[in-house]
Structure 1
Amino acid sequence: MCICHLPCRPVKPNIIGEQISSKMGAHYHCIICSATITRRTDMLGHVRRHVNKGETKSRYIVVSTTKPSNEILKEADTDVQVCPNYSIPQKTDSYFNPKMKLNRQLIFCTLAALAEERKPLECLDAFGATGIMGLQWAKHLGNAVKVTINDMNENSVTLIQKNCHLNKLKVVVDSKEKEGGDCLGEEEQNLGNIKVTKMDANVLMHLRSFDFIHLDPFGTSVNYLDSAFRNIRNLGIVSVTSTDISSLYAKAQHVARRHYGCNIVRTEYYKELAARIVVAAVARAAARCNKGIEVLFAVALEHFVLVVVRVLRGPTSADETAKKIQYLIHCQWCEERIFQKDGNMVEENPYRQLPCNCHGTMPGKTAIELGPLWSSSLFNTGFLKRMLFESLHHGVDDIQTLIKTLIFESECTLQSQFSTQTPSNVKKQEENDVFIKTTDTTMEHLQGKRKSHEVITNLAKKQKSDVSTEHPPFYYNIHRHSIKGMNMPKLKKFLCYLSQAGFRVSRTHFDPMGVRTDAPLLQFKSILLQYSTPTYTGGQSEGYVQSSPENSVADRVE
């Protein structure tokens, strides 16, 4: 019996004419919604619905008439006041998710790296809720940023103002300054002001221009992308957090088709597939506003997908960005994949593009077309190294391991081949992005259209020459391609074996057992089999004969 229900008790039926049957001998009474449930099976389903909604306490049992006090949490030296049901989105206006701490730290390091290029920055947290993210920006970056926290809900706006006062920050509401305390110390006077607005996010982004915009709605963010790219400044950054993982991870394929216009299936590389879906949606929204993008990094974890892009203004950049949105051919037998070749001509046999020969050996249609997806790089090595420096500078220890993994993944190299550098050298590390190389003259590029066009043209030429240096798309899961009856080598050793064979290889944050490499699946399986050892069980050990490397990989797999 659930804690929110009273024990069952038999009740004599009130016979009024023939409306109530005399067979009713007992019922269950819900003390949450005062509903009367006749059968026990119906009561169990009724309880589950209350539990799923977070309604596990009765609203009729009131011990005290005073309103419950709000709880105060602390994250990254920032105090934030939350509602009693702060972790349940359906029960509170100001939702606060402690599991998104990693997401907030990544965005903070991104903004800190951007603040080194030019300052002050106009920053927007479009969906503030408790305001924790904007408070961290203003408290740790000070006057380098001008933070605007927005939320449509009036209760959330009130809570954001309280949290600003709690952290002794100045609040600007409707051009009126409200100080958080009676007197501010010398250290607290260096903190930046926070502007709190109560407005629809689309309206606010249409009215004002920003250098940095973060979108984190509850679910998909496709409804706010057009407004975000309408007034974003040149060389600015847009970060998008998507929490609709059921559609992005191919659990609700019809929803992904509705929101993103993308056809997907569940694959071994479904997390990177989700990241490329979001980047493709962001790229299309930017191209509609005559802007291009450069992906700084894309992260897909268990409960969110984070995409951070830099905005490049101009139709030339928009055209270059649109060309990187392509369809993917995926083999459903061996899970080999390849992006379709450029061109508008209809190909007679698209299966020829796949490296595998499943279509010739298997009956029926073996491949499926997925997309449209982002086909270019998902990481900028230089910007990630600057983020690593900022994480060291500000003492953000939780994400340093993740950023290092992203750096190895962007270069597609092993950790043993990565040369350690001091923070000062990391900060001066040359990036692939020409804008970041010339950070001292960034404002000069913003002053004249001719200079910006020249820089964008140079960037496009450099990107064409650096196509071969991009990390390979997608990855292979070592367990998905394991061989029956064979013991696989350890993952670290297998990575070394692939590197010794002449292939680029690295681990990936998308999958702990994933291997990102430019080796075709046929070579991948061949090397995996070559260094696997047979499993001797019972009498099978005497009659086992190891296959030679010259034999067919398909025969060895069988």
Structure 2
Amino acid sequence: MEAEQNHQNVPEGYKVLKEGQASILYKEEKLQADLEGKIRTGKGKRNCTDQNDTRGTVFYNPVQEFNRDFSILSIREFAKIRQEEKQKKNKDHDGISILEALAATGLRSVRYMKEISPITKLLANDIDSTATELMKKNFDFNNIDPNLYQICTQDAIDVMNLQRMNKTFFDVVDLDPYGTAVPFLESCLNSLADGGLIAVTFTDMAVLCSRTPHVTFYKYGGSPLNKRYCHEMVSLSVLIFHQALRLVLHMISQMANRQQKYIEPLVSLTVDFYVRLFIRVHDGPQKCHSSITKYSHVFQCMECESFWTLPFGTHTEQEITKEPSHKWQKPENINQEDAIKTRQATKKQSNQNQQEEEKESEKKLKDKYQVSRISSIPNRCTVCEGPLAMGGPIWNGKIHNIEFVQRLLEVARNNSDKTHADYQKEVKLGTTKRIQAILAAIIDEDQCGESPLNWDFSQISSSLKMQNPKKNELFNAFRSVGSKLTQTYYDPRQYKTDASPEVIYDIYRAFKMKECNGDQDKIFRNINQLGFAHRILSQQAKIIPNLNGDPIDGVEKETKKNKKKKYLPNPQPHWGPAARATGNKK
């Protein structure tokens, strides 16, 4: 986001901020310090400094430029998919309709109008009159056609419920609140068209990462476990956000199911300090049946890093065979001529019956759902014999549609490739490099299939008092035992694998043996005899990995070949959530 000082017709007291193709007016005001030199914030009193003594009258955070860029890229591609689907059904497609229920400055809505085409209607709403006044200025400032948008000052929940009442459903509903989006989700689903897209942000990571699980449970319907993979489930560490993402998806899916709708996550991100989800929502009670297989409890060992997931239910297909039906008819007294006609008709009917019987005798498949048996989860950890804790429930299904991600990556690459034929046509995004890096990492991560949570191998190394194996050695070791391994898209220290906990610890036992040259004294040095690490190292390995060989394959080769950075640093210092706006409160 760039600030422009010299711009025509800028009202006094405002400055112009440029992002993408939008230029918006923005106003800040000084906070009054008390006699002690402190200012009042949402988290109490703080010392007044140059970094925190001003607040925007309307909420705006430049850190969210990636969020807005990614949203534009995703909605553009969704609009193309929407058009393709309607063309297959021979239906006209004039464009998409968008609702931004919490629009603040209107920056996101202005960018949507200028960078996404075609849009038939956009509704920008905010409950704060200061925000909507600024919004109107910004739409005028950017010369947006007033026939294509509407600005209203209402409660977001009322606005979305009104759309259902009037049956004016939107193709896209964008929710980007300050904090949690939970209060708005039921209404959001009410206002969404069949097959529509929800783009929703959650920034209340302190709750999702809470060490008080009862708070997370009553707000999100699930409890996090305070372990490293909680990046999919969550703790305050940047390593732990992913468990939060799956808690949120589980909650949204349940809300949709209650309205006889089901969700299809297109892209699910945990970046910086927030969760951002792009979810298609379809009508169809029949598809809701499979939800029981997509929710899982997580069972975590309280001593080592092992964990297991148990879905609420299982799905099988049951074969059903229909027996051919034979109808008996009472014979009648008929003459010879009628008898000939009857025989001819009977022969014709017989052929028809035979064809029908062949169809009836065909085997049909019927979906069958059953609750899971808890016997598939051990009573104690099978690696270290430690006790298990239960967390969740979480969403255990796909969190990305890889075909959609590949489409986004192709467009993002074209966006920065000056040699591409469509380079001049593409709207340039300021965070294209970061978008490409994350999308490529998501595709890489997908090779591990349905493995829902991640592993922090540095914790295993630490507990076993050994050095962290090199990344190339890890990839080779897992490949040698027939398992897949990949780094997560959000943290290079986190890994996903389809290997079981027993196999993972067998691999690390082998690395420990190699590091100590098989010397038992060195292996158990500084290891507490009563601790879980001693129990792990005392066990006989069932699988022996090959720790020598070609270290890199697959996507890792491509990463080195293309010399693309997979993880980019924060572009600015103080990268994090912004303070609340002052609004119309004086």
Structure 2 residue 55 is the aligned partner of structure 1 residue 72: no
Within 1, Cα distance between the matches of 2:57 and 2:218?
Answer: 27
Within 2, Cα distance between the matches of 1:135 and 1:211?
Answer: 17
Structure 2 residue 188 is the aligned partner of structure 1 residue 243: no
Structure 2 residue 446 is the aligned partner of structure 1 residue 410: yes
Q: Encode CA deviations 1:306-333: one digit per residue, 9 max, x unaligned.
A: 1221112111122223542232222212
- The 5 Å alignment of 1:386-465 reads 386-391=407-412, 392-393=414-415, 394=426, 395-396=428-429, 397=432, 398-412=434-448
Within 1, Cα distance between the matches of 2:440 and 2:111?
Answer: 23
Within 2, Cα distance between the matches of 1:130 and 1:383?
Answer: 30
Within 2, Cα distance between the matches of 1:103 and 1:319?
Answer: 33
Within 1, Cα distance between the matches of 2:137 and 2:293?
Answer: 47
Structure with larger Rg = 2
Q: Which runs of 5+ in 1 are unaligned?
A: 1-66, 173-192, 413-469
- 1:163 counterpart (119, 128, 138): 138
> Which secondary structure state, in structure 1, belongs to the residue aligned with residue 28 of structure 2?
coil
The amino acid of 1:473's aligned partner reads P
Residue 151 of structure 1: aligned partner: 126
Q: Encode CA deviations 1:149-204: one digit per residue, 9 max, x unaligned.
A: 111111111111111122221235xxxxxxxxxxxxxxxxxxxx332222221122
Within 1, Cα distance between the matches of 2:300 and 2:513?
Answer: 30
> Which secondary structure state, in structure 1, belongs to the residue aligned with residue 303 of structure 2?
coil
Within 2, Cα distance between the matches of 1:242 and 1:85?
Answer: 27
Cα distance, 1:104–1:86 mapped onto 2, change above 3 Å? farther
- Give yes or no for contact 1:153–1:198 (8 Å, CA) kept in 2: yes
Structure 2 residue 116 is the aligned partner of structure 1 residue 141: yes
- 2:184 counterpart (224, 228, 236): 224
Structure 2 residue 458 is the aligned partner of structure 1 residue 479: yes
The amino acid of 1:356's aligned partner reads T
> Which secondary structure state, in structure 2, belongs to the residue aligned with residue 352 of structure 1?
coil
Residue 394 of structure 2: aligned partner: 373
Q: Encode CA deviations 1:351-400: one digit per residue, 9 max, x unaligned.
A: 52776254xx44xxx11111221111111100101111232344431311
- Give yes or no for contact 2:383–2:501 (8 Å, CA) kept in 1: no
TM-score, normalising length from structure 1? 0.66
Relative CO higher for 1 or 2, CA cutoff 8 Å, sep ≥ 6? 2
User: Which one is further off, 252-261 or 513-522?
Assistant: 252-261
The amino acid of 2:280's aligned partner reads R
Residue 301 of structure 1: aligned partner: 271
- 1:554 counterpart (533, 537, 543): 537
Residue 356 of structure 1: aligned partner: 382
Within 1, Cα distance between the matches of 2:519 and 2:312?
Answer: 51
> Which secondary structure state, in structure 2, belongs to the residue aligned with residue 399 of structure 1?
helix
Within 1, Cα distance between the matches of 2:213 and 2:159?
Answer: 32
Cα distance, 1:546–1:155 mapped onto 2, change above 3 Å? closer
The amino acid of 2:150's aligned partner reads K
- 1:123 counterpart (81, 91, 98): 98
- Give yes or no for contact 1:250–1:270 (8 Å, CA) kept in 2: no
Within 1, Cα distance between the matches of 2:137 and 2:503?
Answer: 60
> Which secondary structure state, in structure 1, belongs to the residue aligned with residue 185 of structure 2?
helix
Within 2, Cα distance between the matches of 1:346 and 1:499?
Answer: 31
The amino acid of 2:254's aligned partner reads R
Within 1, Cα distance between the matches of 2:471 and 2:75?
Answer: 35
Cα distance, 1:265–1:472 mapped onto 2, change above 3 Å? closer
> Which secondary structure state, in structure 1, belongs to the residue aligned with residue 252 of structure 2?
helix
Residue 107 of structure 1: aligned partner: 71
User: Which one is further off, 71-80 or 526-535?
Assistant: 526-535
Cα distance, 1:521–1:167 mapped onto 2, change above 3 Å? same
- The 5 Å alignment of 1:202-351 reads 202-208=157-163, 209-272=169-232, 273-342=243-312, 351=377
Residue 570 of structure 2: aligned partner: none
Cα distance, 1:241–1:471 mapped onto 2, change above 3 Å? same
Within 2, Cα distance between the matches of 1:89 and 1:68?
Answer: 27
Identity, % of aligned pairs?
23
> Which secondary structure state, in structure 2, belongs to the residue aligned with residue 105 of structure 1?
helix
- The 5 Å alignment of 1:511-550 reads 511-531=491-511, 544=522
Q: Encode CA deviations 1:486-540: one digit per residue, 9 max, x unaligned.
A: 322222441233123311221112332011001112222322343468779xxx9
Give the Å deviation of 1:112: 0.8
Within 1, Cα distance between the matches of 2:391 and 2:14?
Answer: 47
Give the Å deviation of 1:84: 0.9
- Give yes or no for contact 2:98–2:121 (8 Å, CA) kept in 1: yes
- The 5 Å alignment of 1:155-194 reads 155-172=130-147, 193-194=148-149
- Supply the RMSD in Å over aligned alpha carbons: 3.3
- Give yes or no for contact 1:78–1:136 (8 Å, CA) kept in 2: yes
